[in-house]
Amino acid sequence: MLRLCGMLCVGLALALGVSATAGQDKKDSAKDDKEVVGKIKKVSVKDKSFVLTLEDKSERTFLVNKATKFTGPRGSDREDGLLDPCMDEGYKVRVVPAEDEKFAKEVKLSAWNLDDAKKKKGKKGK
Q: Write out the DSSP string of 67-116.
A: T-EEE-TTS-B-TTGGGSTTSSTT-EEEEEE-TTSSBEEEEEE-PPPHHH
pLDDT tens digits, one per residue of 51-106: 999 999 999 999 999 999 999 988 889 889 999 998 999 999 999 999 988 999 99
Contacts of 72 (CB under 8 A, 6+ apart): 78, 86, 109, 111
Number of structural domains in the chain: 1
In a domain, 82, yes or no: yes
pLDDT score recorded for residue 108:
94
In a domain, 86, yes or no: yes
Strand order in the sheet with 104-109: 59-63, 49-54, 36-44, 92-97, 104-109, 69-71
Q: Is 26 helix (H, G, I), strand (E, B) or coil?
A: helix
Residue 29 has pLDDT above 50, yes or no: no
Q: How would residue 126 be classed by pLDDT, with cut points 50, 70 and 90?
A: very low
In a domain, 84, yes or no: yes
Domain that holds residue 95: 34-118
- Percentage of the chain beyond pLDDT 70 is 68
Distance of CA 30 to the CA centre of its chain: 13
Q: Is 63 helix (H, G, I), strand (E, B) or coil?
A: strand
In a domain, 21, yes or no: no
pLDDT score recorded for residue 16:
67
The more confidently predicted of residues 2 and 21 is: 2
- Percentage of the chain beyond pLDDT 90 is 48
Side chain identity at residue 22, one-letter code: A
pLDDT score recorded for residue 42:
95
In a domain, 107, yes or no: yes
In a domain, 5, yes or no: no
pLDDT score recorded for residue 18:
57
Tell me the CATH number at 44.
2.40.50.320
pTM: 0.63
In a domain, 63, yes or no: yes
Query: In whole angstroms, what is the distance from residue 93 CA to residue 52 CA?
Result: 8
pLDDT score recorded for residue 2:
67
In a domain, 124, yes or no: no
